[in-house]
Structure 1
Amino acid sequence: MNPLSLPPWFLRFLAIFAILGLLTSIWALASPLMSVPDEPAHTVKAGAVVRGQLRGEPGANQGDRAQVLVPAFVGTVDGLQTCFAWNPAVSAGCSPTLSDDVSELKAYTSAGNYNPMYYAVAGLPSLFLTGAKAIYAMRIVGGLLSVAFLAVALTALASLQRWKLPLFVGSIAVTPWFCSCPEE
């Protein structure tokens, strides 16, 4: 099949997905592991969900973190950010090395009762990779899943009869700069 014979909307989708997917993957590889405040909770949740623990054991009180059993390389990610979190003067190079240990241990996640569908996809790399490679791959897979939805939305905007302004506004709205603007 000639790729140019594909419908124009699908070619637009592929182009948008490729561009956003590349940018997201670069971000996933360039940012230090666990450099986002709640990343450890979501990493542990993804590692648990792909192992069949959709919710884990809930805490005794509302707001308590859920307990799950995950491989040590997933369950110890919380300790990676302790030396640099909330301190912009400290490099993430102070983080300990993430082990490749696959023995199970108890870990805790504040994302315990979140819908498991996203995590079931994002956690897949932790089933066949270990250590930092698994965590980086989980980031990329999770990013690509999000990019797929963004690409659908932007493709729909690009398909409008008057598409320039909606596509421009939609593109600006999904940039990290726009999403992280402080409230005045």
Structure 2
Amino acid sequence: MEKDHFSEFVEGLALHFGQDKYVQDSETTRMRLRSWFAQVKHLPAEPLEWMSDQIKRRWDYFPRNLSKTMLELWDQWLREHPKKRAGKQRPDCPYCLEGWIMAYAPAGRGYSKELVELGAAIRCGHCSRDFQDKDIWCATVQEIRAAGWEPMELSDGTYSEQGAQYIQKVIRWLNTRRAKGQGQSAKG
């Protein structure tokens, strides 16, 4: 989203909740708005009106941590609009596809004594540090390599068709698990 879209979004909420301090020009306000925008600038502008309506209906006060509220609403919006989910790299993150890094472990001996290469979808630690699921590994490329895994390289902002399909499968599994409210481990 553009900064202008975000500013209009905040201004509309501030006026609705009577929070003039978020509209008045001051250094503190500029710093707060910059901080919030840094957390949500990767979101598209399309759901902003929907988010504004949700906040106005569900909150009694202007959200104290607006960026966190927006990210939570973004997750809800994606669940309600699954066809709107982008199948490409996040604009500001050169390491992941939709917040996930594909990685593989060096080949080792599997149960049947044949060489097996293990693959995994790991939550991107560069752009998804706010991801809060203790059962899902969240790591940077450096942390992945330090653990003995090798991140797959993105080609033109995406993985191979097989890698992209695997990430979509992991996302569907995670969304289903959340919807059911299960706390089972991802390690299966």
**Larger relative contact order (CA 8 Å, sep ≥ 6):** 1
Tell me, yes or no, whether TM beats 0.5. no
TM tier relative to shorter chain: under 0.3
